[in-house]
A and B are shown apart, each in its own frame.
Chain A
């Protein structure tokens, strides 16, 4: 009955708002229709399962702190926990906003599809903004509410004189403001790009910013564990004034009655920054509202001949025209496919994050003992660097290959498929995979290896290349498709299942093998063993792959003929 009433009374504004709200669960930047919600559900399931662990640990910690003789350790711990939690919340909101980046403003598609309908411009923009705010508010509420209740409650004890309710409120207010600040700042950033750049420049510039932010934010997660919150607070570091989460920690402390001038400065920074972000975001929304027709009307000039055609360069590595065609297609698609680049960078960004984290770990460890270029730790890390990068590049590339591009257009490949050309086409896939994924990363590592090992470092390259080929064979063992011509089911394997498998692969490929390569650089016996074992595995995997490649037909998604589709028989 309520639903009937709702259906009867739904206004165009509410209908639009609902449409925009639901579309936020399927961002254009992620692959597949349900992949985003599937991933979100899988990540949430893991977080909920693991969430019992943190309160138990915090409770034990604060019990110990309240058992100490003085209040100072407790105060420092509580303050640093609050600051660390704020940093984490800001990172989470940042990642979500970046993933929703193309949906922050009414898109070109919205403009073109909705303009002919009898809708007022205010309805379109109002509904978009309302849907966005509801979505973000729900997310922010989900992460701040739980933390606002649990952290002040768990931390209560004999050294905490302030009311738990006041602490809960202050923390909730400050963390909510911090999260909105991150969201509004990113919204303002995109708004500024939109206001200042011509339409034809906006899209690539916006995408570049989105990708950079995504990689930076992903790198922030592993570095979070090294965040020296207690050190910054205890030393009253001036760096706090440059750290946005610290500003909002200042707001929380100020609300709890602290009148320390440093806290006052942080709180005033927070207020000013929030106001600037809010005004800029609102102004950019207003400007985009006023320039509504700019997207639809701006003239696009025909493109000129590109100076360098990377696809043509890659095609030179192949002899058969069919293989050249596949290589060119892969290069064009990965260079221009936004979803494909997004998927690749999401995975490659994890690799970069891991490298940052390892660098910080190694740096801190060596900082205590003194840096020595020829130490085993440094040399192993140097050898692991290109291997780790190539691992994430190849895994990312393989995942990106599975993201379909213009799926119905795959009729071209289906039409051209033949037993005689299949093998060369699949070889092109393998070579493109190696040349675009693993090879550049190994080459990137060469200068670092030269610095760490001298001339001996060059010998690491063929060993790493052998290893990289083995990984490529392993990753493409069951591959029987032209990339981007089919779509994989994102729910086929659970995210955590994949993560565990890849972690095992990475441990063998990068961590264990770098130690082995290090030994192989200095002893002939280790070198011979390495070549023999890796070569044998490579030969077996290659034999397995080539046994089926070219014989079995390629896999394509079968498009159901439009005339039959309404029958819903297949």
Chain B
């Protein structure tokens, strides 16, 4: 089980994330949502060890992950927010690099990398440099890389970004199947419709603080609102979109 306890991050004295607490159990998909700049990616980076928290801790199976960060990271698959890849490498070379850095043995790695590229419809392009890949193809490479070493905890930061409809449908089903296999999944996203369909629980972050954490059905019932989008709007004090939209149109059409 992943337990995030009082996780806090300050940049100088400004809090980016403040006192965040949640857990993700085996077979669970936790939706982690919030507006831009609310601290989702900062939280994810602290969990994955890319950023050091100012306070609080992350526990995995009861142990502080920072006590043995390397061992923890070996059990984690991570898809970052932006498809940052070494674009001079081919898809196959990139997966091989990821596998080797994770300590996978060559024979197991070669077969698995080829198989995953085939299953993600990247076989024909596996020797082409990533620079020639579309955004969706790069995203699929990142997803394949995250799953390559059979992680117990999967952390996804905007994983649907750039995926076409069929790839998105495949990936959604894949997440269900992985959760059914007992994997823990932390799913950070802006796409609330997907979060609503996919996640058993949701955590809403606003200005670095948790403003709600419950099952989606409970949240809807508690706030008496029909959808997660409206729950989200209310909790994150989203403004009157219609008024803002009219203002934009006026600005665009002004001479």
A residues with a Cβ closer than 8 A to B are: 300, 302-306, 311, 320-322, 324-326, 328-329, 332-333, 336-337, 405-406, 408-409, 411-421, 561-564, 566-567, 569-570
Contact = CB atoms under 8 A, between A and B. Distances in A.
A18 B99 CA distance: 46
A300 B131 CA distance: 12
Contact of A413 (B88, B101, B105, B106): B101
| Residue in A306, A417, A419 whose Cβ sees the most chain B Cβ within 10 Å | A417
A494 to B, nearest CB: 31
B88 A336 contact: yes
Contacts of A333: 86, 88
Contacts of B70: 417-421
Contacts of B124: 302
A406 B100 contact: no
Contact of A325 (B12, B48, B69, B101): B101
A334 B36 CA distance: 37
B11 A569 contact: yes
A448 B54 CA distance: 61
A325 B89 CA distance: 12
A411 B16 contact: no
Nearest to A311: B93
B49 interface: yes
Contacts of B36: 563
Interface of B: 11-12, 14, 16, 36-39, 41-42, 45, 48-51, 69-71, 73, 78, 80-82, 84-90, 93, 96-106, 109, 124-125, 127-129, 132
Given A302-B127, A302-B128, A563-B41, A411 B102 contact: no
A384 B215 CA distance: 74
Contacts of B128: 300, 302-303
Contacts of B127: 302-306
The A interface, classified by DSSP as helix, strand, loop or mixed, is helix
Given A329-B97, A411-B80, A415-B48, A303 B129 contact: yes
A569 B12 contact: yes
A324 B93 contact: no
Nearest to B80: A411
Given A302-B127, A321-B103, A416-B102, 8 more contacts: A321-B105, A329-B86, A332-B89, A336-B88, A406-B87, A412-B86, A562-B81, A569-B11
B243 to A, nearest CB: 24
A416 B73 contact: yes
A528 B223 CA distance: 87
Contact of A411 (B42, B50, B71): B50
Question: Top 5 nearest A-B pairs by Cβ distance?
Answer: A418-B70, A325-B100, A416-B101, A408-B84, A321-B100
Contact of A564 (B16, B73, B104): B16
A433 B96 CA distance: 21
A21 B42 CA distance: 39
A564 B46 CA distance: 14
A336 B128 CA distance: 12
B50 A414 contact: yes
A303 B126 CA distance: 8
26 contacts: A302-B127, A321-B99, A321-B103, A321-B105, A322-B100, A325-B100, A326-B101, A328-B93, A328-B96, A328-B97, A329-B89, A332-B86, A336-B88, A406-B86, A409-B84, A409-B85, A409-B87, A412-B86, A412-B98, A415-B48, A418-B70, A561-B16, A561-B41, A562-B81, A564-B42, A567-B11
B93 A405 contact: no
Nearest to B51: A561
Contact of B88 (A303, A324, A328, A332): A332
B168 to A, nearest CB: 23
B236 to A, nearest CB: 15
Contact of B69 (A302, A304, A418): A418
Nearest to A485: B86
Given A328-B93, A561-B45, A563-B16, A337 B88 contact: yes
A562 B41 contact: yes
A405 B50 CA distance: 19
A44 to B, nearest CB: 33
Nearest to B39: A563
A337 B73 CA distance: 29
Contacts, number: 121
A151 B124 CA distance: 64
B72 to A, nearest CB: 10
A360 to B, nearest CB: 38
A351 B61 CA distance: 57
A304 B129 CA distance: 11
A322 B106 CA distance: 11
Contacts of B129: 303, 336
A570 B100 contact: no
A303 B103 CA distance: 28
Nearest to B100: A325
A418 B14 CA distance: 30
B101 A412 contact: yes
A230 B104 CA distance: 68
B73 A563 contact: no
A322 B96 CA distance: 11
Given A321-B100, A328-B93, A408 B14 contact: no
A302 B89 CA distance: 13
Nearest to B73: A415
A300 B105 CA distance: 34
Contact of A405 (B11, B86, B98, B102): B86
Contacts of B80: 411
Contacts of A300: 128, 132
Contacts of A564: 11, 16, 42
A415 B78 contact: yes
B88 A405 contact: yes
B103 A322 contact: yes
B77 to A, nearest CB: 10
Contacts of B96: 325, 328
B17 to A, nearest CB: 10
A224 B132 CA distance: 44
Contacts of B102: 321, 416
Contacts of B101: 321-322, 325-326, 412-413, 416, 421
Contact of A567 (B14, B38, B105, B106): B14
A566 B36 CA distance: 12
Contacts of A320: 103
B124 to A, nearest CB: 5
Contacts of A302: 124-125, 127-128
Contact of B84 (A411, A416, A421): A411
Contact of A415 (B16, B49, B82, B125): B49
A320 B78 CA distance: 23
A569 B124 CA distance: 45
A419 B90 CA distance: 28
Contacts of B69: 418
A181 to B, nearest CB: 36
